[in-house]
Each structure stands twice: as C-alpha cells, then as structure tokens.
Amino acid sequence: MEELKAFHGGRANLRLCFNSNQNEDSIFKALDQDLGKSPVESYRDEVGVLKKSVTYTLSCLEKWVAPKKAEVPLLFFPAKAEVMPQPLGVVLIFSSWNFPFTLALDPLIGAISAGNTVLLKPSDLAPACMSFLVETIPKYLDNKAIKVVAGGADIGERLLQLKWDKIFFTGSPRVGRLVMAAAAKHLTPVTLELGGKCPAIVDTLSTTPSKAKVTAKRIVGGKWGPCNGQACIAIDYLLVEEKLASALIELLKKTIKRFYGENIKSLKSISRIVNEHQFQRLVNLLKDPNVADSIVYGGSVDEEKLVIEPTILLDPPLDSEIMSEEIFGPLLPIITLKNIEESINFINSKSNPLVIYAFTEDETFKKRILSETSSGTVTFNDSMVQFLCDSLPFGGVGQSGFGRYHGKYSFDTFSHEKSILHRGFYPEIEPRYPPWTDFKLLFIKLAYEFDYFGLILLLLGFKRS
Amino acid sequence: MASEVEKKAVFDIDSAKEVVQELRASFVAGKTKDYEWRRTQLKAMLKMMDENEPQIVAALRDDLSKPELESSIHEIAMLKNSCKLALKKMKHWVMPEKAKTSLATFPSSAEIVSEPLGVVLVISAWNYPLLLSLDPVIGAIAAGNAIVLKPSEISPATASLLAKLVANYMDSSCIKVVEGAVPETTALLEQKWDKIMYTGNGRIGRIVMAAAAKHLTPVVLELGGKCPVIVDSGINLQVATRRIIAGKWGCNNGQACISPDYIITTKDYAVELVDSFKCELERFYGKNPLESKDLSRVVNSNHFARLLKLLDEGKVSSKIVYGGERDKSNLKIAPTILLDVPQDSLIMNEEIFGPLLPIITIDKVEDSFDLINSGTKPLAAYMFTNNKKLKEKFVEKVSAGGLVINDTTVHLAEPTLPFGGVGDSGMGAYHGKFSFDTFSHKKAVLYRSFAGDAPLRYPPYTNGKLRLLKALLGGSILGIIRALMGWSKA
C-alpha cells in the first residue's frame, strides 16, 4: 500500500501507510475468518476500493480545500465573496460488519481529508476485522487525532451520550433512529447510510441471448457476489414478466452453478452468513410453508458451517416477511407481473430503497423509472458497479437514509461550508441608515431590484417617491 | 352556527394526519413535480406580495412595530428577489448534472438527477415572520414538493395574514398553512415528513430533530448564537459604527439571528468606539430613541422581561454607558451600550436578541479569536479591520455559519452564498440554489451497456482474476485494456 503525503496546507495529518503484502494478507485472513470472504471478493470490495479512494482523494484534495469564489452583484462593489470548507471538529464513525474495512475506512478517509479528528467504532459482529483495525491503525495514523475503539452495542450507546460535531452511521434503520435521537440532544448533524429492499427490474430477457446471459450474470453477481447478499446494495428481489419467469430461472440456475458450484456441499467463491443470529433470521424467513413452497432452487442449509445455499423463490406471498423485510442474505424472490411496467407501482408500494436496478433497453421505460420512482441511486443494466464511481453521490433517501459520500461527497459531508463576504469601507450608501424617509425607501427598493438605471434617475432627481 | 364551531375545532393529531395524507396524495399524483405548476405557484407568490404590501406592512407593524422600510425591504423586497431568482434559474436547477465516469465502469455514463423529497414541513420564526416563512417555501416549491407551513404564533397578525393569502393565491391542495402554537406544532411533528426545516432556537431545534429521528426525516435547523463583532483600530470608525448599528438596531431592533450580539475591541480603542456609537445612534434615532419610529419594539412582554433581566443584573447595570431607558407599556427599550460586562454575566452567556450591545475589551485584537472560539459556534461573525493578516487569521480561525469583513448582516442578501449555521447555530443551509438543493434528493444514475462484460468480475475466483482486478482498480493501463476487452482468461 502507498504512503500518503501530509497535506502541506497545515491540515490535520493525512499519512496512511498501507504496507504492500503483509497487511493485505492479514486483511484477507480476517475477512475470511469473519465472513468466509475469498481474497478476490475481499480485494474487489474492500482493499481495492479503499486504495482507489485514497489515491483519488490525494489527487483532488488541494482542489477541494480551496475556497470557492461566489458571484457578487455590482451593488455591493467593491466586495469579494467566497465559500470556504472547514472541518466540523470531532467526528464519530460507526461502521457495519458486512464490509468491515470499506465501511469503516472510506468514511474515515473523508473525515481526515476534511481536517477532522475521528473516533471510529467498527462493528463487533466482525471481530477479527475489528481487532485488526484496533491494532493496526495506531501504527500508521496519528494516534492523537484518530482513534479506534472496540466493543459492542453498549460501547456504542455510551459514545452516543457524548457531544460530537458529526456522526456518520452505516447500519439498520432501527439503530439509525436511535443514533439520530441521541444526536438531536446535542444538535449534532448526522449522515445515515441505511438499507432497504433493492429491487432489480428484468426486461432484457427477450432481447438477444447474449444480453440475456449477461443480465443473468450481473444479477447473480449482484445478489450473491457482495458478501452473499448481506449488503445494503445487493439485489434483494427481482421483478419480471410472468411469461419470462421460467427462462429467467433457468438462466439463473445455470449461472449460479457455474459461479458457486453444483450444490451446498461444493459451494465456493461465496461468503458465509456472518453469525448464528443472522443465520436463524434467514432460516426463519423460509419457515412459512407458503414461502417454503415457492422455492424453485436451493433451500439447503448447513447450520454448523453457517451456510445457506443460493436460493431462488418464485412468487412467495407478498405479505410474507421475506417480502416485507430487507432480506440481507442469499434468498432471491422473483415476483412476476403481467406487464413489466407494473414494476414501478410495485416498487413505489414499498419504502425508498438505496438502489433500484433496471435491466432494460427501452428508453421510455428508463425515463419513467427515473421520474416515477425514488431511490438513492438508479443503475441501468448492471449491478453494484455504481459503488466504484467516485463522481456519483452514494446515499439513501427516505427510509434508506440521508446524507451521502464517496469522492468529493465524503469531503463535503465532513466539512462546514463557511460563507465569507469581504467588503470595503467605500463607497458608502447613505440610504442604508435611518432616519428613514420616502427617498431612502425608494432608493433601496430600486437597489434591491438591481435597477441601476432607476437609481441614477432617482439620484439625479428625475424620479419622485 | 354549529358548522362554524366545528370548523374552528382543535387541530390535533388526526387533523395533522389528514393534512399529510391529502398532501401526499397530491404529491403522488405528480401535481407538485410538474414544472409549470412550480412556475405558476412562484408567480402567484409574487402577485400575492405585490397586491398586499400595505396589509403585510400593517401586520408586521401590529406584531413587531416594524418600521415600514424594514418591512418593505428586509421582508417583502428580499422575498420578491428570491422568487424572481427561482423563476429565472429554475430551468437550470432542475437539469440533471452530468457526472464523470472512470475506467473502472467503462463503458458507462452517469448523471445526478434532482427530485423532490415529497411532503415537507417548514416551521418559521416570529422576528421575520414573512421572510422566514416564505423563503424556505420558495425553495420547496422550486424543488417540486408539497408543503405545510407553520408560522410562529408569537407574530399572530402575520401568521393569520399568511394563512389567508396563501389560501387565496396558491394551490391549497399542495401548499397549506397551519396556524397554532405548541399543541399544533407537536401534532405536526408526530407525522412523517420527507424533510423538516426549522428556524428558531436551539431548545426547540433539539425537539424538532428528536421528533424527526423517529421517522428518519432529515432536517435543516437554522438556529442562532452570539454573533460577535471584532473592531480593530485604524479603520473608518464612522462607517464601521454605522454598519454595526444598521445590523443591530436596524434589524428588528437586534431581534435577528445574525444581528451583532456583542463587540470585542481593544482597551485602547474602546472609548473612541463608544463615542462614535453615541454620536451615530443619536443621529439615527434622535435624542429620545424610545419615541423613534425607526425602531421595532420588543416583540412581547416575555421577551421584554427577559431583556430587562439581562440588563438589570447587578454586575451589569453599572456598565451601561449609553441608553438603558425603557417603556414597559410600549415594550420599548432604548439602544443600550454596555462596557466591560463580566464574562460570567447572563448577558454574555445567552443570545441577547434585543437592543443591548455589550462591548468586551481585550489587550490585543488577536486575543479575540480565542475568546470567540471558547463559546459555541455562532451563525455569523463580523470583523472590521484593514489589516490583511488579521483578516486572513479571522477567516481561518473563527468557525461560524458565515463571516463578513467590514460590514454586518449583508451576506444574507447574497444568494450565491449558502446561509446556515454550524455546531449550535444549526445544520444545513439555504438561499438561492441552496434552497432548491436542500429540498431535493440528488439521485445518482448510472447507465451501463452490455458490452465489455469482463469475466474477471465473476466467480469462480482465481488468482489470475485477482491479479487482473488489482490492475483494473490500480490503474495499470495495459492490465485494464486486457481486462476490459474480456481478453483475460480466468
């Protein structure tokens, strides 16, 4: 990993040393231990993302910290206006267990680049990763400015009693409410990166066979690829036309087998379920007999290894838990519709998700999806990759959260944009001051309308109040 | 008669729920998203102000004894400008913004689309009851939302007038005014909103945010603080004094969130400064300022009592160097200047929000920065100086919502500057395009094509794929080309 130079502007030290092989191996090992993540997934979703983020931030930082000029109308002449970003102060970052490095360090990069001091509280549900962060960060970062604290919900609660200048939280809506309520006591601004049921609309099966295949690959890659469905942006469920459902299922089955193995015994290249509690939660979603009946592929579980094989369900009851809760696991319901356009109403009947995925080449349909649905992000014809775009804001809306980050948005989310107006002592505009007269009133009215000509007329005595 | 009584029934939780349901139905039906609808509403608001200026001025006089010039300029003219700006610029604001894409997602295109948040609640304050109600509403309309406006009950004449005018001029299936006090506001806060904007004090700000937390509703809080003015020597003292007076007593008699709250100057300069104030204050408001028509009154007896408590505190009352007169029946307190009040006095520990101006003296001007930073972050901070280095230090060291050098309060009129607080003075910002943004969700959109599907994305995962993935994310051109063209083998 590279060494980041301290930013010369005198900002808080930004020196992050990533050591090429040693730490990378430890990170892979920790992720394997906590989640059964393979090195490719770990690099793609965690290490690589972070290295890219740091490199991008370093290359742009000087531009971001510079004040931005703002236009000033002639009336104020001579004057200079600008907006200057400033650190908020001492910030608290809570990260989640499913991407224990990315969701901890990506916000940290933003907080540091904006000049804040930071306390990071990683999730104890990924204990090996948490330990790694607790032990390793002090070796590379300024320990007086950046601290990591280990612990569970009780530590989290105690931290929330204190006054912070910003809290950044990634996790569930339930805990998001608690974080915001605690922040309200101190008027602390928050960013909440929550979740939701991310739907994928599938409308490309009747195009060419190769597009259909790519669609299937991207769906499978977008469901079981990221931490085996345990990701806020993983595809939660599919929407497809009735008549195409069986073709879709066949394609998905083939792709799953090719990617992950023929059955639960030969499962590979896929993370496991994080712990017993989540495992039971997912198993319970399948307990409902109507839901169990709708399984068309998979369904086997291995409690000892905390493994549930990739499972597809066809039209489980819409009022079942699997269709009302965020799944966050390897179960993929497919909901069929008479007409794919109905997917818009279906999605709108649920709360705003973090992402809507839509596989379609119909430009009109794309426009309708964009204007008639609401979500953090919309991605057309792919899954997951929007996460790699530093120029796109990443965040939710409604129940999926508020605030955003990635790229410059990370810097902004941890900054206060301070407005600054510089004025000169001359010229002085007398009508600003009392005692008030009709002349002064008219003068100011014209000034506010930027009616410079009218002002001249008034001053020359050609306008009467 | 009976139906009249029914109409005036209490606005409770159920009424609040009904209001939200109606607005949500209008929003879902797409009424407020329609671009022409937004333009029509903004034009209607302009017409509303053009045709009712005398009534507005009269209501503000009732509520605050606000001088006509302040009403016409600080409230009406500012609002009209804000409306006109939105009408002029909205077509640019609603356009999606292109976003750059990188090689990592090639081939793709990306944009950021602004969409309305939905149904929003605007709770405004009593001191600029028209401006602080309608300015946020302008932003909310421009962004395409349905709106409930809850004006302050402490300025009841303006609140009633607003309710009447908005119902007459604007689309009441999408924009409603709810009058009332604590019970009505509480009923509204129980509901689920897509955004809440609150202007007022920190105590209520906390209550608003806690209520919003239950529904994960994002908030903008425009609060207050003690806005300091640092006065250096070697400046045009007369101009500086006048500008401070204009920002203090000329803004609703000090009852404004960005009014200069207190002054910091050097021990050596204090006497000259006080003399300059005495001279200019008399020039502006005459020998009997209690009778000047150019000063707002103190809004009500609660605030009057509060201000007297600050003024009459033992260790403070002896520090009055100008003013101090009061007229209880007319709720007037003369412009009052105090010199060297103790740091632990009441007047130095809460936002004054009135016509009292303490001057604190220090040895060197540079000492003022630490003094300011030892308190909570204010909404604005001001400095009068010709010293370039001091200006730079001020800008760098002092954290506040906004700063002005060599003037006071005028940054409010600058729509290209975001207006909002930090820390205890609030969160979020508005004015100009910032208003539009604050009531919008900026939706990220990525368009991908089916070409260039690299197998290295997909399992089974191998070392070869790991190597190529590193090349792709790390930016090695050759490695990337091979990866993108799908020429790399698994």
Establish if B281 belongs to a structural domain: yes
Taking every pair of C-alpha atoms in chain A, what is the biggest distance, in angstroms?
A: 95
Mean pLDDT of chain A: 91
Amino acid found at B381: A
Confidence category of residue B222, pLDDT binned at 50, 70, 90: very high
Confidence category of residue B6, pLDDT binned at 50, 70, 90: very low
Confidence category of residue A20, pLDDT binned at 50, 70, 90: very low
Task: Indicate the angle between helix axes B182-190 and B13-28, nearest 10 degrees.
Answer: 50
Q: Which helix (H) or strand (E) holds B22?
A: helix B13-28
Q: Do the Cβ atoms of B470 and A269 come within 8 Å? A: no
Residues of B in contact with A50 (CB under 8 A): none
**Cβ of B74 under 8 Å from any chain A Cβ?**
no
**Cβ of A374 under 8 Å from any chain B Cβ?**
yes
pLDDT of the residue at A11: 35
Percent of chain B exceeding pLDDT 70 equals 95
Q: A289 to chain B, minimum CA–CA distance in Å?
A: 32
Confidence category of residue A319, pLDDT binned at 50, 70, 90: very high
Contacts of A246 (CB under 8 A, 6+ apart): none
Q: Strands across the sheet with A90-94, in order?
A: A146-148, A117-121, A90-94, A166-170, A190-193, A401-402
Instruction: Say if residues B75 and B132 touch (Cβ distance below 8 Å).
Output: no
Cα separation, B400 vs B378, in Å, equals 5
Establish if B99 belongs to a structural domain: yes
**Cβ of A403 under 8 Å from any chain B Cβ?**
yes
B residues 379-418 lying closer than 8 A (beta carbon) to A:
386, 391, 395, 399-407, 410-411, 414, 416-418
Cα separation, A130 vs A126, in Å, equals 6
pLDDT of the residue at A465: 53
Burial A357-395, CB ≥16 within 10 A → b, else e: bbbbeeeebbeebbeebbbbbbbbbbbbbbbbbbbbbbb
Of A379-388, A430-439, B9-18, B25-34, the range with the highest mean pLDDT is B25-34
Cα separation, A417 vs A401, in Å, equals 22
Confidence category of residue A455, pLDDT binned at 50, 70, 90: confident
Q: Do the Cβ atoms of A433 and B246 come within 8 Å? A: yes
Q: Do the Cβ atoms of A434 and B284 come within 8 Å? A: yes
Residue among B284, B395, B426 minimizing CB distance to A433: B284
User: Which residue, among B95, B450, B463, would best test binding to A if mutated, counting the most A CBs under 10 Å from its CB?
Assistant: B450
Domain at B328, CATH number? 3.40.309.10
Confidence category of residue B475, pLDDT binned at 50, 70, 90: low
Q: Is the pLDDT of residue B377 over 80?
A: yes
For residues B171 and B158, state if they share a domain. Answer: yes
Query: What does each C-alpha distance from B143 to A60, A404, B287 come to in angstroms?
Result: 30, 19, 49
For residues B41 and B162, state if they share a domain. Answer: yes
**Cβ of A448 under 8 Å from any chain B Cβ?**
yes
pLDDT of the residue at A248: 96
| Three-state secondary structure call for residue B430 | strand
Contacts of B135 (CB under 8 A, 6+ apart): B78, B79, B82, B430, B431, B435
Establish if B187 belongs to a structural domain: yes
For residues B216 and B267, state if they share a domain. Answer: no
CB pairs under 8 A between A and B: 295
| Residues B255-286: tens digit of each pLDDT | 999 999 999 999 999 999 999 999 999 999 99
Mean pLDDT of A8-16: 34
Q: Which helix (H) or strand (E) holds A228?
A: none
Domains of chain A: residue spans and CATH: 2-194+405-416 (3.40.605.10), 199-395 (3.40.309.10), 429-459 (no CATH)
Q: Do the Cβ atoms of A187 and B424 come within 8 Å? A: yes
Amino acid found at A145: A
| Residues A185-198: tens digit of each pLDDT | 999 999 999 999 99
Residue among A43, A81, A392 minimizing CB distance to B417: A81
For residues B299 and B392, state if they share a domain. Answer: yes
Cα separation, A385 vs A387, in Å, equals 5
Catalytic residue among A41, A46, A193, A241: A193
Residues of B in contact with A52 (CB under 8 A): 104, 473-474
Confidence category of residue B185, pLDDT binned at 50, 70, 90: very high
pLDDT of the residue at B41: 98
Instruction: Say if residues A88 and A165 touch (Cβ distance below 8 Å).
Output: yes
Q: Do the Cβ atoms of B446 and A378 come within 8 Å? A: yes
For residues B294 and B159, state if they share a domain. Answer: no
For residues B264 and B218, state if they share a domain. Answer: no
Please say if A309 is a catalytic residue. no
Catalytic residue among A129, A198, A227, A232: A232
Residue among B99, B294, B461 minimizing CB distance to A392: B99
Confidence category of residue A206, pLDDT binned at 50, 70, 90: confident
Q: A305 to chain B, minimum CA–CA distance in Å?
A: 20
Q: Is the pLDDT of residue B476 over 90?
A: no
B residues 116-135 lying closer than 8 A (beta carbon) to A:
117-118
**Cβ of B473 under 8 Å from any chain A Cβ?**
yes
For residues B165 and B261, state if they share a domain. Answer: no
A residues 7-36 lying closer than 8 A (beta carbon) to B:
none
For residues B321 and B436, state if they share a domain. Answer: no
Mean pLDDT of chain B: 93
Q: A382 to chain B, minimum CA–CA distance in Å?
A: 6
Q: Of A412, A187, A450, A411, nearest to B415 (Cα)? A: A450
Amino acid found at B169: Y
Establish if B155 belongs to a structural domain: yes
Confidence category of residue A7, pLDDT binned at 50, 70, 90: very low
**Cβ of B459 under 8 Å from any chain A Cβ?**
yes
Quote the radius of gyration of chain A (alpha carbons, Å).
27
**Cβ of B422 under 8 Å from any chain A Cβ?**
yes
| Residues B71-100: tens digit of each pLDDT | 999 999 999 999 999 999 999 999 999 999
Mean pLDDT of B450-463: 79
For residues B234 and B281, state if they share a domain. Answer: yes
pLDDT of the residue at B485: 61
Mean pLDDT of B196-223: 98
Residues of A in contact with B426 (CB under 8 A): 187
Please say if A3 is a catalytic residue. no
Q: Classify burial at B397, counting beta carbons within 10 Å of its beta carbon; exposed 0-12, middle 13-18, buried 19 or more.
A: middle
Domain at B116, CATH number? 3.40.605.10
**Cβ of B470 under 8 Å from any chain A Cβ?**
yes
| Residues A255-292: tens digit of each pLDDT | 999 999 999 999 999 999 999 999 999 999 999 999 99
User: Which residue, among A165, A198, A418, would best test binding to B if mutated, counting the most B CBs under 10 Å from its CB?
Assistant: A418
Confidence category of residue B462, pLDDT binned at 50, 70, 90: confident
Instruction: Say if residues B417 and A83 touch (Cβ distance below 8 Å).
Output: yes
Q: How many CB atoms lie within 10 A of CB B272?
A: 14
**Is the bond preceding residue A435 a cis peptide, omega within 30 degrees?**
yes
A residues 47-86 lying closer than 8 A (beta carbon) to B:
48-49, 51-52, 55, 70-73, 76, 81, 83-84, 86
For residues B466 and B394, state if they share a domain. Answer: no
Residues of A in contact with B405 (CB under 8 A): 420-423
Q: Which helix (H) or strand (E) holds A147?
A: strand A146-148
pLDDT of the residue at B137: 98
Q: A11 to chain B, minimum CA–CA distance in Å?
A: 11
Establish if B263 belongs to a structural domain: yes
Residues of A in contact with B453 (CB under 8 A): 214, 217-218
pLDDT of the residue at B471: 75
Q: Do the Cβ atoms of A370 and B113 come within 8 Å? A: yes
**Cβ of B451 under 8 Å from any chain A Cβ?**
no
Both tokens of residue A18? Answer: 């990533």
Query: What does each C-alpha distance from A142 to A14, A117, A145, A151, B256 come to in angstroms?
Result: 8, 10, 6, 21, 42
| A10-14, A405-409, B60-64, B129-133, range with the lowest pLDDT | A10-14
Question: Can you give the residue range of the structural domain that contains B155?
Answer: 13-223+431-442
Residue among B209, B210, B239 minimizing CB distance to A428: B239
For residues B200 and B263, state if they share a domain. Answer: no
Q: Report the number of distinct structural domains present in chain B.
A: 3
**Cβ of A299 under 8 Å from any chain B Cβ?**
no
Confidence category of residue B145, pLDDT binned at 50, 70, 90: very high
For residues B118 and B214, state if they share a domain. Answer: yes
Residue among B216, B239, B473 minimizing CB distance to A192: B216
**Cβ of B192 under 8 Å from any chain A Cβ?**
no
Q: Do the Cβ atoms of B450 and A214 come within 8 Å? A: yes
Q: Do the Cβ atoms of A379 and B68 come within 8 Å? A: no
Residue among B216, B416, B470 minimizing CB distance to A173: B216
Q: Is the pLDDT of residue B43 over 60?
A: yes
Identify any residues that bridge with B198 across adjacent strands, giving them in sequence order.
Answer: B123, B221
Cα separation, A217 vs A201, in Å, equals 14
